[in-house]
Chain A
Amino acid sequence: MNGRFHPKSLLYQIPLLLGAIISMFPFYWIIVMSTRKTSDVFRFPPKVTFGTELLTNMKHVFQNMDFFGAFLNTVFIASCHTVLVLLFCSLAGFAFAKYQFPGNKVLFNILLVSMMVPGQLSLIPSFLIMQKLGWIGSFKALIIPGMASAFGIFWMRQYAKEAIHEELLNAGKIDGCGDFRLYWNVALPVLRPALAFLGIFTFIGTWNDYLWPLIIINDSKKYTLQIALSQLNGIYNTDYAMVMAGTFFATFPLIVVFLFVSRQFISDIAAGAVKA
């Protein structure tokens, strides 16, 4: 097949190409609108190519809202949350996979059932608990409640079960490692691929999280990117060029970072679903 043109391949390539264009068009449109004046796009016919106004539009964004602060807040929250998720989920996943302690099965089943309860059921009381703890408007409310996620533990356990061999653990035990040393020195290096996936998954999820921060964050200094963006859209919804510049700023850094790790990540997503 290599190099030779095959007429039947058009039948496959054309729909795929069409799908790819639809998939990419909104990104293209973000760039068009954020590099143009609003009046250039909101007219008939609109300008559909890239313009030169990106910096001006960005300046408007930063004048109206502390987007850079929101960017730093988001990086901080997502990083802290991700590191904690990796630590607690790998600890618990390793424990569930490799130790036969009383209650292992029951406790793991509780964990599985907890995944099926929709989070909205506990939304109001969780908010009230945060109020009691004085965590309203605090990053703690965004970082701590989800830092030992059931999905993460499930994911780490499935991987640890196959990847960590008993011989390796036994060798560690003979060397006099305690349970934590076994985790840190033996298990963690083996779990690296699963940690990479869970880390990226968690980071993206936290970066894009919306409903919970919307309820918790009440001070514009503490806005996350998504909250800042929705505020920008809600307040200045006539200056589309500026709102789009904000959208550009809130999405493209994450996408660029994602492109570097996409190949392995996409394979992991697919493999995880097929196994489940």
Chain B
Amino acid sequence: MSDTNVSLAAGASKRGGSQLWREIYKHRVIYLFISPFFILFAVFGLFPILFSLYLSLHKWDGIGEMKYLGLGQYNYLLHDADFWKSILNTLEIWIISTIPMLFFALLIAFLLNSTFVRFRNVYRVIYFLPNVTSIVAVAIVFGTIFGDNYGFLNFLLKTLGLQPVKWLSSPVMLKVAIAVMVIWRWTGYNSIIYLAGLQSISNELYEAARIDGANLMQTFFRITIPIIRPIILFTLITSTIGGMQIFTEPQVLTNNSGGPEHGGMTIVLYLYQQSFLNHMFGYGSAVAWGMFVIIAVFSLINWKIVQLTERK
């Protein structure tokens, strides 16, 4: 369909464009149908992006006069230890949440796909429900579960005769607590996607492998993983995008502060703090662009690694 479009357009331009205009005129109602997205994108998407580039070259508190700084904000950004810390925190939380999350999701999907399992649909709903819950609520509930003194988790640890852990007042454990919230909210979602992928693999393939004498591990790594590989990539990409933008959990859990030693300060929380609490719109814009560059580089590395593993 789109090929004919191109040839139509090309043909029309050769004949002075009159036919192209006729085609456009003929479809004027259709352009009206798609126009809301493009108008809204221009006003609330494209223009803001360009405007934030402009803002990032200035110093501005949102009320007074703008002061042109050139690349001053970016120079400051490069030397801003808090900015780099927020990037490191975000990456750390991303790694300690994504790896267990995708592993558990795959395991759950594999178990759910077995013929032994009953109540598969009940399990699917139970595992999916965390994803419907708001992150604010998740952060509040887990905040009490992870409480240093009277949290349920430390109660469990003490009952088992173990030392209680200072979850929320240590910069390292705070990241673990945040990662647990992410794992809790997203494992079920990912496992349901994996399950759909597993269900698309025909039983004959497994039968054939069994007849050839393959054991469970071999079947899993030689058949299951290669076939659902594109789906694993999909979940990896979505969790990278989500992971880089993590905000609500640390914001609610640490009440805007970023927690002890800023151990829970993520990039978006830093962006929010600088822009909307400290009213530094110019610097906030520079932080946003810094974040964008880092996400872009990170995605590129991700993509390259994926390409390398593909060749094997």
Contacts and interface: CB of A to CB of B under 8 A. Distances in A.
A259 B125 contact: yes
Given A102-B27, A122-B48, A88 B141 contact: no
A219 to B, nearest CB: 16
Nearest to A232: B140
B45 interface: yes
A95 B33 contact: yes
A170 to B, nearest CB: 16
B49 A121 contact: yes
Contact of A29 (B123, B132, B145): B145
A190 interface: no
B141 A16 contact: no
B18 interface: no
A247 B141 contact: yes
Interface in A127-180: 127-129, 144-150, 153, 178-180
B269 to A, nearest CB: 10
Contact of B117 (A13, A26, A148, A276): A13
A101 B30 contact: yes
A126 B44 contact: yes
A54 B167 CA distance: 28
Nearest to A149: B37
A274 B23 CA distance: 36
B4 A100 contact: yes
A26 B121 contact: no
A179 B137 CA distance: 45
Nearest to A125: B48
B64 to A, nearest CB: 14
Contacts of B149: 42
B295 interface: yes
B33 A16 contact: no
A12 B200 CA distance: 20
Interface residues of B, number: 102
Given A210-B134, A210-B247, A263-B121, 13 more contacts: A1-B116, A12-B111, A26-B184, A41-B144, A101-B30, A102-B9, A122-B48, A124-B284, A124-B285, A147-B36, A180-B29, A273-B234, A273-B235
Nearest to B124: A266
A24 B133 CA distance: 12
A240 B36 CA distance: 45
**Leading 3 A-B pairs by shortest Cβ distance:** A122-B48, A270-B196, A125-B48
A100 B141 CA distance: 51
A269 B189 contact: yes
B291 interface: yes
Given A23-B129, A226-B136, A29 B141 contact: yes
A122 B47 CA distance: 8
Contacts, number: 277
B272 A121 contact: no
A27 B145 CA distance: 12
A3 to B, nearest CB: 10
Interface stretch (A64-72, A191-199, A249-257): A249-257
Interface string B112-143: 10111100010111111110111111101111
B132 A102 contact: no
A102 B24 contact: yes
B132 A9 contact: no
Interface in A32-69: 33, 41-46, 48
Contacts of B38: 107, 110
A119 B252 CA distance: 20
Contacts of B235: 273
Contact of A125 (B52, B107, B132, B145): B52
Contacts of A101: 5, 23-24, 27, 30-31
B132 A255 contact: yes
A19 interface: yes
Contact of B196 (A96, A111, A144, A271): A271
A233 interface: yes
A273 B130 contact: no
A23 B184 contact: yes
